[in-house]
Amino acid sequence: MTRLGHCCDTAVQTLGVCVACWVRDCSLPPMFVLGCGLARGRAARCPHLASSANGIAGALLPHGPTQKEGSLLGEKRSAMASAELGLSLQGTRESGADVRSANVTAVMALANILKSSLGPQGLDKMLVDDIGDVTITNDGATILKQLEVEHPAAKVLVELANLQDTEVGDGTTSVVIIAAELLKKANELVKNNIHPTTVIAGYRLAMRESIKYIQANMSVQVDKLEQDVLLSIAKTTLSSKFIGGDSELFSKIIVDAVKSVRVPGPNGKAKYPVSQINVLKSHGQSSSESVLVPGGYAIQISRGSQEMPTQVKPAKIALLDFDLKKHRMGMGVNIVIDDPEELERVRQKEMDLTKDKIKKIVDAGTTVVFTTKGIDDFAMKYLVEAGILAARRVDKKDIKRIAKCTGGTLLLTMADMDGEEKFDPQCLGSADEVVEQRVGDNDFLFIKGCSATKAATILLRGANEYMLEEAERSVHDALCAVSRTLESNSVVPGGGAVETALSLHLEDYATTFDSYEQWAIAEYAEALQVVPKVLAINGACDAIDLLADLRNCHTAAKKDPTKADQKWYGLDLMKGVVRNSVTAGVLEPMVSKLKSLKFATEAAITILRIDDLIKIAPDPEQQ
């Protein structure tokens, strides 16, 4: 037997003949040839067996292999081929329904954290990081930023909230909740054997139709409303925040601040850059003591010396990005001095260099100096003698904003192209007044009457750091919402009115399709109802009853022309009823709704497209 087996291997190796044909011609028992490893390997390449699903085993076994044997042979052959090509996977792999379910679970877990913080009755979250710092907030983007999210699909939602915060400023919580609900509904469709590509196509159709419907039917031009829309927008944004109790005061401060930084655009449209509004925090007193400093920029810093003036009128401001200190030789430069008198002259020359530099700045007409670096006592003496107000260690971000507001230039050096030092008076910024004032426990420098562009500063007061930080986040969201409203000139009703109207419209729109996309559009319509539902639950109301009333009002508005005003109806969570959101002043910028729908849909589609998750194993640590 051994000899015959050896002959079998040799015949295949030397002649390259087909094992099946060779067995048939030699009348050898089939089970004998199965013992020849080389023969089986060669037979797999035989043209006579190319059509056989199970390779050599199918040719040699009398009745073919069992299903288990065929599967094992197939896996072994695939592994051998991968190993030969160097394609072995070092890591773990999930695919199909498993990875989709895992993604939906991770995304829903993240959305469930945020759900209870949505709306005017939403609750706050306390987040404690690894070093014990506490953050108390109900802002969606801040909560997700603080969480250490590891799941790759959940990270998409974190980026989604940051994008909404950057683009619009408000609506970060609702955009995450809508995206998670869309993904959950899509996963149910896929489980019912509807292909993900079909679901994605349906979602895109629903999104486009939603945007058209909002622009055509749900938006209101700001100039057509009699009430002060900007105050209503600010109040609506602040209603869900910590400072909502003082919304009357803060909404007025915010609207005045945004209006004061109006910049004419090149195409005739005005811009309202929120970056020109500085928000400062100072401990002490209550939040109702917060004030707006109109037409000025403030920084939390004091003058360099108590002998300097506290007020300069008018101000010519020099902005420096270098220090004013006694001149020192460069690194690696040594001076060998034999005569002690020469040493004294070198020291005097170093002092004179700094004195000349300050003299050139003063001679240009400078009355105020801001530098991002330091000013030593020697330089301070000359500045005090010249009657200049100087501040050192100014934050780079602040000094750039001051340069933009006052029309000054931030100087990195005083050297010109010839190597000489000089100070150009054209680099000076100008303002009506620079004054130091004490607010609470801190000193502030106020730059009033900036010449180049408008600027404003909001000074927030509060009992502790947590309150001040949350107030700053709330004010930033409201500033962005008011700015977007002024730029787009369109608003939509709040309180879940837009989502309810869209849901009913998309249900009708879905019936116009006779393909599988109909199911995806219908599920999209149902997913949008999550916003009014969560609002009602957070307001301790009967969600089913309120949602039924709201849908009834919007259905009547579509069918009965005499009840057309009911399309503006949203939820009143204080009284647990439905009401006209427009007349009640519950308004949101239209751009916020459009962006949140686009971002949520794209995020859901991005995660839905994933059908394979491969985690590469880390390289083993070298010994």
User: Which of 591, 587, 609 minimizes the C-alpha distance to 251?
Assistant: 587
Kindly list the distances between the CA atom of residue 406 and the CA atoms of 36, 263, 276, 400, 456, in Å, as whole numbers in the listed order: 90, 15, 12, 10, 13
- The answer to whether residues 447 and 561 belong to one domain is no
Distance CA 158, CA 163 (A): 9
CB 492 within 8 A of CB 220: yes
Residue 278 lies in a domain: no
Give the per-residue pLDDT at 214. Answer: 93
Looking at 389-464, list the stretches that DSSP marks H as alpha helix, in order from N- to C-terminal side: 396-406
* 432/58 Cα distance (integer angstroms): 95
Has 310 been annotated as catalytic? Answer: no
What residues pair up with 436 in beta bridges, in sequence order?
A: 445
pLDDT of amino acid 419? 74
What's 32-46 look like in SS3? HHHCCHHHHHHHCCC
* 306 three-class SS: coil
Same domain, 442 and 505: no
Give the CATH number of the domain where residue 371 resides. 3.50.7.10
H-helix or E-strand spanning residue 432: strand 429-439
Q: Residue 623 has what pLDDT?
A: 44
Q: Is residue 110 included in any domain, yes or no? A: yes
Determine which one of 137, 172, 237, 601 is catalytic. Answer: 172
Catalytic residue list contains 14: no
Q: Residue 74: what pLDDT?
A: 53
Strands 315-320 and 368-371 come out as parallel
Label residues 318-337 b or e (16+ Cβ within 10 Å = b): bbbbebbeeeeeeeeeeeee
Assess whether 79 and 101 both reside in one domain. no
Could you report the average pLDDT of every consecutive run of 10 residues in the chain (623 residues)? 44 46 48 43 45 41 47 51 53 79 90 89 87 86 86 87 84 90 93 91 94 91 77 87 83 89 79 85 84 82 89 91 76 73 76 84 90 88 90 90 88 82 88 86 85 82 86 90 87 90 93 89 93 91 90 89 87 88 88 91 91 78 53
Q: Do 319 and 426 fall into the same domain?
A: yes
Q: Is residue 434 part of a domain?
A: yes
Tell me which DSSP letter residue 324 carries.
Answer: B
Residues 69 and 117 in one domain: no
Annotated active-site residue 555? The verdict is no
Residue 271 maps to a domain:
no
pLDDT in tens, 278-316: 888 888 778 888 888 877 788 888 888 888 999 998 899
Q: Which residues partner with 306 through β-bridges?
A: none
DSSP three-state, residue 608: helix
**Domain-ending residue, one of 427, 453, 479:** 453
Same domain for 445 and 312: yes
Final residue in a domain of this structure, among 22, 56, 85: 85
Let me know: does 326 contact 351? Beta carbons within 8 Å. Answer: yes
Residue tagged active-site, from 135, 137, 142, 173: 173
| Residues 25 and 121 reside in one and the same domain | no
What is the CATH classification number for the domain harbouring 600? 1.10.560.10
Any domain includes 467:
no
- pLDDT at res. 198: 93
What domain count does the chain have? 3
* In-domain check, residue 120: yes
Taking alpha carbons only, the member of 214, 175, 177 closest to residue 596 is: 175
Same structural domain for residues 502 and 604? yes
Same domain, 198 and 108: yes
Per residue in 201-250, pLDDT (tens digit) is 999 999 999 999 999 988 888 877 766 888 888 888 888 887 878 888 89
133 belongs to the catalytic site: no
Q: Are residues 39 and 131 in the same domain?
A: no
In a domain, residue 13? The reply is yes
DSSP letter, residue 321: S
What is the Cα–Cα distance from 523 to 181, expressed in whole angstroms? Answer: 10
Asked if residue 76 and residue 103 are part of one domain, the reply reads no
216 and 121 belong to one structural domain: yes
Asked whether residue 257 is domain-assigned, the answer is no
Catalytic member of 477, 500, 572, 601: 477
Quote the CA–CA distance of 57 and 69 in Å, as a whole number.
9
Domain boundary among 39, 54, 85: 85
Tokens of 430: 């100008």
Instruction: Show the domain range for 444.
Output: 296-453
Confidence at residue 489, expressed as pLDDT on a 0 to 100 scale:
85
Res 509: pLDDT:
92
